[in-house]
Amino acid sequence: MNALTSEYLVTNDVVCGIELPQHLAPAVTAFLRTNELDGLMIELDNGRQIHVAQGHRRAKRAIEALREFGAIIHANGDRLPFPAAAVLADAEPPSIPPVVVIAAAVRSVSSDAKPRPKKPACRQQAAQAA
């Protein structure tokens, strides 16, 4: 269970924070909002954003990709700055998207995105095996 105090949201084995670099944060947030995939997000004084996400234990490749793009992953007991007023202001609790959604958004908006390697067709594999 998440421990929420007036100052911090404590991450655990279910919920994590994905801190995005300044150059990606606005575009990722816009992408998530446009596609109605946005959730709980914490704005930091330094211009960075932390998106609260879930499922990081089952998304190792997504976490690796986020780190390659400069994201900092907060998990396993890390404390995220979180004003209690933000929770009280919302009548309905915000959604918490999966890590893979944040990773897909980062990849989509990044000009540094690397193309995925193409897998050989089944025919090519069979020809190589023969």
Tens digit of each residue's pLDDT (9 = 90 or more) over 68-126 = 999 999 999 999 887 655 544 444 667 889 999 999 999 999 865 554 444 455 555 55
Residue 2: the pLDDT is: 46
Cβ atoms of residues 31 and 109 within 8 Å: yes
Structure confidence at residue 32 (pLDDT): 94
Do β-strands 72-74 and 3-4 pair in parallel, antiparallel, or remain unpaired?
unpaired
Q: In whole angstroms, give the CA distance from residue 51 to residue 36.
A: 14
- State the pLDDT at residue 29: 92
Q: What is the pLDDT of residue 113?
A: 54
Which whole-number Å values give the CA distances from 22 to 2, 92, 97, 122, in the listed order? 27, 28, 20, 42
- Is 106 strand, coil or helix? helix
* Neighbour tally for 96: CB within 10 Å: 16
